[in-house]
Amino acid sequence: MAVGLLGNKIGMTQIFDESGNIIPVTILKVGPCVVTQVKSKSKEKYDSIQIGYGNVLSKTLTQPELGHLQKSNIQPLKYLKEFRTTEQDEFTVGEVLNVDLFSPGQFVNIRGKSIGKGFSGLQKRHNFTRGPMTHGSKNHREPGSIGMGTTPGRVLPGKKMAGQLGNKITTVKKLKVIQTNSDENVLVIKGSVPGKPGNLLSIVPSE
């Protein structure tokens, strides 16, 4: 896995490309992130780096979290995330990573928590087709049969039914980077990303 960054979703807008076409884009506030730990196979049995994002007051963190950061003389950070990589030797503890990791035209995978839609029915949650609306029909939005009457007379696990929609970690892959702004730590991505404005996101280069 390549090394990525953490950031927040600012919101969506649209821009014009060189041909005059309208492109829907999402604006992200990415980093700066600090390398808080470098792990190696010799010590931790695997290679990775850990980054931190979001300055906070020390009183908002637990003692173990504070001790972990103070050991490397790093200011209190709200979020920590680890990326598996075989290039961990290229990073040092305390190094600052920003949007310069990405370039226009590059493709990235963005991971975050999707918007919660609450308890939703089958048409909205699983794209079921509704039943007939006339001739005495009484199954407009019903699920229909959910199991057999004979052995094994039960509802099989994994059956698509109504329930909680959204509010889960999801990944959108192969999103194109349109623009980067190192001064403002802003990333402009083509298309939409998970969650509402302010949502925490992980941005990783696509493989």
Digit-coded pLDDT (tens) for 98-127? 998 899 999 999 999 999 999 999 999 999
Q: Examine the pLDDT at 184 and tell me if it is beyond 80.
A: yes
Average pLDDT over residues 134-142: 91
| Prior bond of 32 cis (ω within 30°) | yes
Distance, CA of 87 to CA of 3 (rounded, Å):
9
Q: How confident is the model at residue 44 (pLDDT cuts 50, 70, 90)?
A: confident
SS3 88: helix
pLDDT per residue over 20-43, tens digit each?
A: 899 999 999 998 999 999 888 888
Distance CA 61, CA 157 (A): 40
Query: What is the mean pLDDT of the segment spanning 189-206?
Result: 94
* Unique residue bearing structure tokens 């963190």: 61
Is the predicted pLDDT of residue 1 greater than 70, yes or no? no
Query: Of 56, 170, 188, which Cα lies nearest the Cα of 117?
Result: 170
**What mean pLDDT comes out for the span 37-52?**
89
